[in-house]
Amino acid sequence: MNKKQNLFYKTQKLQNINFTQKGWHVIYAIILAIFALFITSSAFAAPARIKDIVDIEGIRDNQLIGYGLVVGLNGTGDSLNNSPFTRQSLQAMLERLGVNTRGENVRTKNVAAVMVTANLPPFATQGSRIDVNVSALGDSDSLQGGTLLVTPLLGADGEVYAIAQGPVLINGFKAEGEGATVISGVPTTGRISNGALIERETGFRLGDQRTLRLSLKNPDLTTARRIALAINDYIGMAAAVPENSAVVSLTLPRNFNGNIVDLLTDIEQLVVQTDLVAKIVIDENSGIIVMGKDVRVSTVAIAQSNLTVTIAESPVVSQPNPLSFGDSVQLPRTDLNVEVGDSNLALVPESVSLQELVDGLNSLGISPRDLIAIIQSIKAAGALQAEVVVM
């Protein structure tokens, strides 16, 4: 091999090496671009924390209800003749206080029978206070200036969990005179801030639990499985199992350093990509339409036309001829006008996105009422791959 051939092969080898290095740089750049695209697409996926998409078993409110009397009203209370329960309650209360009014004609208008409701928060302790709502039960005009007397609040099991008492604050008012009445808001309902004292606790001890269930606020099989995978990846063992689309069972690992409260505190901050079925919600009363991003339609042609019918009555009077001794007669006359708008036939392609679907329907110039009918017709034709919920 001469010097020229040797120099040629060395040059060719060097070019191959440079090309190989450039090729690896190009491949590396492509990988980085794909990775960046994946990160960007994931960033736009709108993930959510586990604590925002699930309810934890045992952590819940309990409804309380009670019946009581509001006194101190300025003549705006119940009419005792029309509200026998108010009369009976007033007599029973006075008898417990040593006052006998049986057989007496009591005509006070300063007392009103009310229903008292409240929510007992989870883990509320004995001696703490909660807010209560007060609503008139009889024909009281207003609870303004009234005071709720001691009222036991019962749970669903019939036990007393709180005692309510205090001045009632209302958001509305009523003012009336001989010729006019002004009412603002609802003066027959009110609220007592910190008006009930808790006397009994629910007895649920979260820290002693070994297993719990996480209830999804929007049930979905894919989301339930993703929640279980995120928890198991974080803990390093199979502690979460999806039972169905609405429940994920959580078990405290034996070697976990802490109780179930510590475990919940750790996992509730985990981020999970949620998934929902394609759904369209229609409120026919208000004409509101809400569509999910996964709504898809098959190829379908849509035609829409407006039919307007106008009817106007303009009667005329027919006068008799001179010297005919006739009477004037009113004759009916109806002006009837029918207008048919232009009918547009639009082709909606298959598997269009939500934005394309909305743009295509808006191009027809239709109203929300007509859009509701079109969506229902597309669903009836089997061309809409989404659940339609009519409220």
Give the pLDDT of residue 368: 73
**Angle made by CA atoms 42, 48, 52, in degrees to the nearest 5:** 175
φ, ψ dihedrals at 301, nearest 5°: -105, 135
* pLDDT above 90: residue 168: yes
Question: Which of 104, 106, 94, 93 shows the shortest CA–CA distance to 67?
Answer: 93
Contact 235, 254 (CB under 8 A): no
* C-alpha of 182 from chain center: 33
Of the listed ranges 27-31, 128-132, 250-254, 305-309, the one predicted with least confidence: 27-31
CA nearest to 216, candidates 240, 243, 248, 241 = 248
C-alpha atoms less than 13 angstroms from C-alpha of 197 in its C-beta half-sphere: 7
Specify the pLDDT at position 117: 97
* pLDDT score of 282: 83
Q: What is the pLDDT of residue 104?
A: 74
* Cα 133 to Cα 150: distance, rounded to the nearest angstrom: 14
CA distances from 304 to 197, 281, 299 (A): 62, 21, 17
- Residue 381's pLDDT is 78
Sign of the CA dihedral 93, 186, 140, 181?
positive
Q: What one-character DSSP code corresponds to residue 320?
A: P
User: Please, are residues 250 and 295 in contact by the beta-carbon 8 Å criterion?
Assistant: no
Amino acid, single-letter form, for residue 223: T
208: left (phi over 0), alpha (psi -120 to 50) or beta: alpha
- Please give the average per-residue pLDDT across 200-223, as a whole number: 90
H helices of 1-150, in order, are 3-43, 50-53, 84-96
Contact 224, 246 (CB under 8 A): yes
Tens-digit pLDDT profile for residues 328-382:
777 777 666 655 555 555 555 655 565 666 666 666 666 777 777 777 877 887 7
Q: How confident is the model at residue 320 (pLDDT cuts 50, 70, 90)?
A: confident
Burial of 331 (0-12, 13-18, 19+ CB in 10 A): exposed
Which range (117-126, 152-161, 182-191) has the least confidence? 182-191
Instruction: Say if residue 191's pLDDT is above 90.
Output: yes
- The alpha carbon dihedral of 242, 248, 251, 256 has a sign of positive
Backbone angles phi and psi of 250, in degrees to 5: -120, 125
Q: Distance of CA 145 to CAs 45, 67, 77, 170, Å?
A: 53, 19, 11, 9
**Residue 212 exposure: Cα atoms within 13 Å on the Cβ side:** 22
Domain boundaries in the chain? 62-198, 206-272, 279-390
pLDDT value of residue 42: 39
pLDDT at residue 70 tops 90: yes
d(CA 384, CA 227): 30
The residue type of 233 is D
| Mean pLDDT, rounded, for 97-118 | 87
pTM as predicted: 0.65
State CA 213 to chain mean position distance.
23
The full DSSP string for 167-224 is: E-B-S-EEEE-SS-EEEES-TTEEEEEEEEEE-------GGG-SEEEEEESS--HHHH
